[in-house]
Amino acid sequence: MASRLFRRLTFIAALAFAALGAIAAGPAQAQDGNFIIVQSTTSTEASGLFEHLLPKFENMTDIDVRVVAVGTGQAIRNARNGDGDVLFVHHTPSEFQFVAEGFGVRRFDVMYNDFIIVGPKDDPASISGMEDVTAALTRIGESEAAFASRGDDSGTNKKELGLWAKTDVNPRAASGSWYRETGAGMGATLNTAVSMGAYTMSDRATWLNFQNKGDFEILVEGDRRLFNQYGVILVNPEKYPHVKKQKGQAFIDWLVSAAGQAAIADYRIKGQQAFFPNAR
């Protein structure tokens, strides 16, 4: 188990560092071997979910799952380039577009949780307890309280920008002043927010697993617009013949099966359920 985890972490680090170079170089031909490459979002890794799930699948099938954990936008671009067998991300419109354009075979719902807005306990924009997320963002913008955005085209960043668009505030016009774009993953952005005393939006699971909370608290939650759905797709083997169709589909079938869904439901962070299975 330890050797598999070491191989996975090494693979993640190497591919994350080389992602842009791989895109420029063209589709990567997967080497022969009993493994698959999953292009995924950072939250599935940073939350600890994959560390919980993958050994169950690997022990049952002897298929090694190697995860490239990047923002959803980058994961989709990688998969469009043929760099991977499975796409597992959380921006439904982009996922359906990926399939419609012939890069993926079929999209499956897997699970959901929600987004939250976190910030310092002193709450300079006075948003604590608000249930209307756009009203809360409006207060942050009007008061010019510091806000840390991932700014990386991830699923979280896409959701955040979509919510800002429903307000009268244009945060990008304030880029570099009260609105700071980190261009980084969720964990790094949370670290930046805590160090700056800035608000930020996070998926709940990454926040629960985040260790450097300082005096930060969840200030806004519960708005239905903060719903966070995850989907999984097999990269199209007709477009990219090197895709490991049977092994990739086996992973997808397990995720949406009763056993996979139960494993997702069983994952807890500090006693709290992190993801809620909803495969049909």
Is the confidence at residue 263, as pLDDT, over 50? Answer: yes
**Chain segment 129-152, per-residue pLDDT in tens:** 999 999 999 999 999 999 999 999
**Which residue range forms the structural domain that includes residue 80?**
2-112+229-277
Query: 135 and 96, same structural domain?
Result: no
Percent of the chain topping pLDDT 70: 89
Helices 2-25 and 49-61, interaxial angle, to 10°? 100
What's at 207, amino acid-wise? W
Residue 125 predicted with pLDDT over 80: yes
pTM for the structure as a whole: 0.85
User: Does residue 118 sit in the same domain as residue 107?
Assistant: no
Q: 236 and 139 share a domain?
A: no
Q: Is residue 50 located within the same domain as residue 150?
A: no
Query: What CA–CA distance (Å, rounded) separates 115 from 161?
Result: 13
CATH assignment at residue 137: 3.40.190.10
Residue 22 has pLDDT above 90, yes or no: no
pLDDT of residue 4: 53
pLDDT, the chain, mean: 91
Rounded Cα gap, residues 58 and 191, in angstroms: 32
Q: What are the tens digits of pLDDT across the range 38-75?
A: 999 999 999 999 999 999 999 999 999 999 999 999 99
Same domain, 251 and 183: no
Number of folded domains that form the chain: 2
Per residue in 191-248, pLDDT (tens digit) is 999 999 999 999 999 999 999 999 999 999 999 999 999 999 999 999 999 999 999 9
Q: Is the pLDDT of residue 6 over 60?
A: no
168 lies in the same domain as 137: yes
Whether residues 141 and 219 fall in one domain: yes
Residue 61 sits in the same domain as residue 85: yes
DSSP run (H or E) holding 38: strand 35-40
Q: How many CB atoms lie within 10 A of CB 180?
A: 21
Residues 92 and 130 reside in one and the same domain: no
Shared-domain flag, residues 125 and 81? no
DSSP string, 105-162: EEEEEEEEEEEEEEEETT-TT--TT---HHHHHHHHHHHT--EEE--S--HHHHHHHH
pLDDT value of position 57: 98
Same domain, 177 and 88: no
